[in-house]
Amino acid sequence: MSAFRIVEAGDSAIVVEFEERIDPAVNARVVAVAGRLRAEPVTGVRDVVPTYRSVAVYFDPLRTSYDALVDRLEREASAPVARARPELEVIRIPVCYGGEFGPDLSEVAAFGGITESSVVDLHAGRTYLVFMLGFAPGMAYMGVVDSRIAAPRRETPRVRVPRGSVGIAGSQTGVYPAETPGGWQIIGRTPLKPFDLSRPDPFLMKPGNRVSFFAIDRREFEQLERSWQPVVS
Amino acid sequence: MAVVHVTRPGLLTTVQDRGRWGFQAFGVSVAGPMDRVSHRIANALAGNPADAATIEITLVGPELVFEDERLVGVAGAEYEMTLDGQPVPPTGAFVVRPGATLRFGRRVHSARAYLAVSGGFDTPPVLGSRATHLPSALGGLGGRALLAGDRLPCGAPMKRPPDAARARALRDASLGAVPEGAVTLRVLPGPQSDRFTDDALEALQSAPYRIAPSSNRMGFRLDGPLLTHTRGADVISDATPLGALQVPASGQPILLMADRQTSGGYPKLATVITADIGLAGQLGPGDTIGFAVCSRGEALTALIGQERRLMAVEAALR
């Protein structure tokens, strides 16, 4: 069993913290605790928010028994995590790398002292874990990126990063779900929408999911972009 | 469905309800009113349940034309207001006739007013809420602040709306003053007070902080006594509660407000208590905030007292 502590975050939030590192094993505990809290909610709880190594529970202090909530969190945090079973399903994300869609591909290649096509091979060559979502609706923080392409954030963030941009920030990778400002190194773009309110489930990726990327060319990108337009009913 | 026409939008007028809860795990911010107490009073004055949507009015108010008869409730900041050219009291409830024009004029007191119409504003809910979140363009009308020419849909009003005169009297008698310019907010230490020097909480309480011009609905950048980290200004990103004081490398805190992101990577020294956070919503750039550490018991007592007063107002208006 791994160590944890329970920390107050004001009068209407409480946080269970596991070991202070970005680690799939630690994150598995986070996702498990958050899942159990969602499956059997405590009265008065408004939101359960898993992040890399902690779970925040937001509650209404007027409707929640604080002591009962703490007891429950202690119980869940110390419960053994079900044996890690590799999820069969991997979310596969098509990416058109480089060119206009990936303006930082050359910089990431220079960072690793490798070719641009090696960057693509390394990025598309492994399966990533969704550690958490944050920053914007549907923005998944995934890892762990191969150290040869783990380029740090840009010194000056861009004012506008287009929706679908695939980026690297150190050991993390992710897909911008909307046009926002952003500082990640942009190496490509996907026609998939990580956040789409027209889908029954608007969120493509969730904490604990596994994700891989595969390369497509510009023509395939445009075809996919057209074919995945939401059906108007 | 009846609408309210927006003929002048004001500086930053947004549709808000109690917020978009339950989706922070997917990066969806809560949003909601900056001053949740005044939002709730506006709803009570208009005879609405507490979960109805109001509009939040910031510093410069709008001009609105009503299509049908409605009871209107206004709470929070005070503006000079006219209804078809005749002055109306800045807060309270009044009936508008079909075609009436309500004009917000000079701001007299505080930053944000809340305007409710009987039946509530009935913009399409997004993920269960009508709250506008500006950075992600969700909720309200197209996820943005109101513009001239907008038509705000209104829900069906209650059969028997509260008596306007009684509503005004109650509001004035039952609730404390809305702050203007300066306020002291109570905080609980944490969640990461252990990442600061021992005297950081003392420093936080030693002098007021001034709200910097770059502040907005996401957060207030504060200038004041320096807060010193012990292990650097980066933490592994974690959840960011309303009212948390996060401290980047500059040592100057940012008070996280309604439109904050769901997570962040700076240590958080302390968190403003729920009963007090709405007071911050009545401040703007240049105003000052003092902080005072309190206990969990005090925080809960304050919240229960506030809830009792609000429930008494709601009950009296029913």
How close is the nearest chain A Cα to the Cα of B309, in Å? 14
Residues B163 and B200 in one domain: no
Q: For a pLDDT cut of 70, what percent of chain A falls above it?
A: 94
pTM of full prediction above 0.90: yes
**For residue B86, what is the DSSP state?**
E
When pLDDT is averaged across residues A14-23 and rounded to a whole number, the result is 96
Q: Does A9 contact B at CB distance below 8 Å?
A: yes
Q: Does A143 contact B at CB distance below 8 Å?
A: no
**For residue A98, what is the DSSP state?**
S
B175 or B209, which is more confident: B209
Asked if A176 and A162 count as a contact pair (C-beta separation under 8 A), the reply is: yes
Confidence band, pLDDT 50/70/90 cuts, at residue A88: low
B248: which 2 tokens? 């980047």
Q: Does A202 contact B at CB distance below 8 Å?
A: yes
Residues B21 and B162 in one domain: yes
Residues B203 and B64 in one domain: no
Which residue of B245, B256, B263, B308 to mutate against A (max A Cβ within 10 Å)?
B263
The pLDDT value recorded for residue A75 is: 96
Residues B171 and B214 in one domain: no
Asked if B176 and B36 count as a contact pair (C-beta separation under 8 A), the reply is: no
pLDDT in tens, B181-236: 889 999 999 999 999 999 999 999 999 999 999 999 999 999 999 999 999 999 99
Contact A49 B127 (CB under 8 A): no
Tally the domains of chain B. 2
Neighbours of A85 (CB within 10 A): 6
In this model, does residue B173 exceed pLDDT 90? no
Contact A139 B244 (CB under 8 A): no
- According to CATH, the topology of domain A5-78 is Gyrase A; domain 2 (3.30.1360)
- Alpha carbons within 13 angstroms on the beta-carbon side of residue B173 total 9
Residues B164 and B237 in one domain: no
Q: For a pLDDT cut of 90, what percent of chain B falls above it?
A: 86
The pLDDT value recorded for residue A87 is: 57
Asked if A176 and A164 count as a contact pair (C-beta separation under 8 A), the reply is: yes
Q: Is residue B281 part of a domain?
A: yes
Q: Where are the domains of chain A?
A: 5-78, 91-227
Ramachandran category for residue A10: left, alpha or beta (phi over 0 → left; psi -120 to 50 → alpha): left
Mean pLDDT, chain B, rounded, equals 93
Asked if B3 and B152 count as a contact pair (C-beta separation under 8 A), the reply is: yes
β-pairing, A158-161 vs A91-97, is unpaired
pLDDT in tens, B54-113: 999 999 999 999 999 999 999 999 999 999 999 998 888 899 999 999 999 999 999 999
Of B184, B183, B189, B185, the closest CA to residue B296 belongs to B189
When pLDDT is averaged across residues B270-296 and rounded to a whole number, the result is 97
- Which residues from B are below 8 Å from A34, CB to CB? 25
In this model, does residue A232 exceed pLDDT 80? no
Q: Is residue B317 part of a domain?
A: no
Q: How far apart are CA A202 and CA B9, in angstroms?
A: 31
Per-position DSSP letters for B231-279, written without gaps between them: S-S----EE--TTEEE--TTS--EEE-TT--SEESS-EEEEE-HHHHHH
Confidence band, pLDDT 50/70/90 cuts, at residue B160: low
**Chains A & B: contacts with CB separation below 8 Å:** 134
Q: How far apart are CA B122 and CA A113, in angstroms?
A: 56
In this model, does residue B156 exceed pLDDT 60? yes
Q: How far apart are CA B15 and CA B50, in angstroms?
A: 14
* Range with lowest mean pLDDT among A210-214, B44-48, B63-67, B90-94: B90-94
CA distances from B196 to A65, B5, B231, B249, B269 (A): 30, 51, 8, 12, 7
In this model, does residue A1 exceed pLDDT 60? no
- Which residues from A are below 8 Å from B268, CB to CB? 9
The pLDDT value recorded for residue A80 is: 85
One-letter amino acid at B302 equals A
Asked if B64 and B27 count as a contact pair (C-beta separation under 8 A), the reply is: no
When pLDDT is averaged across residues B113-130 and rounded to a whole number, the result is 97
Q: Does A21 contact B at CB distance below 8 Å?
A: yes
Q: Does A230 contact B at CB distance below 8 Å?
A: no
Q: Of B122, B157, B178, which residue sits at a domain end?
A: B178
Asked if B286 and B262 count as a contact pair (C-beta separation under 8 A), the reply is: no
The pLDDT value recorded for residue B165 is: 62
Which residue of A11, A133, A161 to mutate against B (max B Cβ within 10 Å)?
A11
The pLDDT value recorded for residue B172 is: 54
Domain ranges, residue B19: 3-178
Q: Enumerate residues 6+ apart whose C-beta is below 8 A from B125.
A: B139
pLDDT in tens, A117-163: 999 999 999 999 999 999 999 999 999 999 999 999 998 999 999 99
The CATH homologous superfamily to which domain A91-227 belongs is Cyclophilin-like (2.40.100.10)
Angle between helices B36-45 and B164-174 (to 10 degrees): 150
Asked if B229 and B269 count as a contact pair (C-beta separation under 8 A), the reply is: no
* Range with lowest mean pLDDT among A91-95, B44-48, B132-136, B259-263: B44-48
A2 or B49, which is more confident: B49
In this model, does residue A175 exceed pLDDT 50? yes
Q: Which residue of B has its CA nearest to A10?
A: B271
Q: Is residue B14 part of a domain?
A: yes
Confidence band, pLDDT 50/70/90 cuts, at residue A83: low
Residue A49 has its nearest CB partner, among B24, B242, B271, at B24
Q: Is residue B37 part of a domain?
A: yes
Q: How far apart are CA B117 and CA B66, in angstroms?
A: 10
- Which residues from B are below 8 Å from A47, CB to CB? 21-25, 30
The pLDDT value recorded for residue B171 is: 55
One-letter amino acid at B142 equals G
When pLDDT is averaged across residues B37-66 and rounded to a whole number, the result is 96
Give the three-class secondary structure for A4: coil
Rg (C-alpha) for chain A, rounded Å, is 19
Q: How far apart are CA A65 and CA A96, in angstroms?
A: 51
Q: Does A19 contact B at CB distance below 8 Å?
A: no
Neighbours of B149 (CB within 10 A): 9
Q: Which residue of B has its CA nearest to A179?
A: B136
Asked if B247 and B261 count as a contact pair (C-beta separation under 8 A), the reply is: no
Q: Of B129, B153, B178, which residue sits at a domain end?
A: B178
